[in-house]
Amino acid sequence: MRVFADLCPAPPHWTLPWARIRDAFGWVRDMAGVPQDAVFHGEGDVEVHTRMACEALASLPQWRARPPAERVRLFTAVLMHDIAKPHCTSVDGDGRITARGHSRRGDLMARRILWEMGAPVAWREHVAALIRHHQVPFWALERPDLQQIAFRVSLLARNDDLVLLASADILGRVCPDTAELLDNVALYGEYCEEQRCLDVARAFPSDHARFWYFRRPGRDAGYAAYDDTRLTATVLSGLPGAGKDHWIAAHRPDRPVVSLDRLRAELGVSPAGDQRAVAAAAYELARGHLRAGRSFVWNATNVSRAQRDLCTGLVARYRGRVEIVALEAPPPVIRDRNRRRESPVPDAVVDRLVRRWETPDPTEAHRVDWLTSG
């Protein structure tokens, strides 16, 4: 993206224009004065740490050797990696400063900000995935789910990018365990190389094998699962106004549709009201199609992975193939389309959905398509 490219350190001097960066982004200014644990962040507040991490990245030979576009993308991830700390930082009863959950919330915040800035979907999701997993390499070898995480990162971003981000994060702080953490990061890189997912997406025998690998912990990634699917469920994901109904009319006109908007109208439930009756009716309709072995479309916002997992899990239990179609449009288009709907979704509801928005990824389905309109 041009705005980040203009601010990214570049040869021959690799200078970080921090004053310009502060002027450009309110979320950077929000980091000022946000405290951190003095033991593990002796450098100071979140803004100081972020500046030092960006400077550390700019000094790394591996980063400097990357093509310019890759340097900019990784610089953006480092700049945004602690974006959620101002919203997650708290002081425990014993006086310890923590920022629990800032990686996941940072993923959500970065997605929203980059969407509002018009970032390309794949570029945005690469950055968001790095932010979500930026702490993983510190203690990776202690995690029982390490392989799944490494494979997921490889499908959304690149693990060698994650290694550089984690290295810059460590080098951009003053702490007593710098050497140990850098060793851990290096070991994570070696592990990813052994698993054939350091700088490429992990390969699977088939989309069916990949789907079930991520649904069953401990499954052999190389197992060529027999494809016994008997129908296809097309699960839509997108904010109100993203164009879901239009897409169905153009691409799945003959498929039965489980539509939550239609069910809300039939049940007299407002988009801002209690949705439990609507969800129950939707699942009952879906079960009818699944029992009959009939392919169908599931038309709902499905903006969070947890929501989609309820749908995809049900389909999987009935030996269904899952395809997720993630539809997007720029914010002004979303707002305009929503206003022109017969029953507009309240702005407060849309804003709440945006704050929870997790773009579908290849670990969730046999196939995932990212489509943008407007």
Give the domains, in start order, of the chain with CATH numbers: 2-194 (1.10.3210), 231-372 (3.40.50.300)
| Tokens linked to 48 | 């100081």
> Could you tell me the end-to-end alpha-carbon distance of the chain, in angstroms, rounded to an integer?
19
- Provide the pLDDT for residue 60: 98
**Cα(331)–Cα(239) distance, rounded to whole angstroms?**
10
Q: What is the pLDDT of residue 297?
A: 98
Number of C-beta neighbours around residue 29 at 10 A: 14
β-partners of residue 172 are none
10-residue mean pLDDT series, the chain (374 residues): 96 98 98 94 96 98 98 98 97 90 98 97 98 95 92 98 98 96 97 98 98 94 95 97 96 97 91 90 97 98 96 97 98 94 90 97 98 91
pLDDT of res. 173: 96
CA distance 305 to 293: 25
Query: How far, in Å, CA of 91 to CA of 35, rounded?
Result: 9
What is the model's pLDDT at position 270? 86
Q: What contacts 24+ positions apart, CB below 8 Å, involve 4-12? A: 4/72, 4/75, 4/76, 4/79, 5/68, 5/72, 7/75, 8/71, 8/72, 8/75, 8/76, 9/54, 9/57, 9/58, 9/75, 10/68, 10/71, 11/64
Q: Which helix (H) or strand (E) holds 288?
A: helix 276-291
Cβ-Cβ contacts under 8 Å for 268 (sequence gap 6 or more): none
Q: Looking at residue 67, what is its pLDDT?
A: 98
Give pLDDT, residue 257.
98
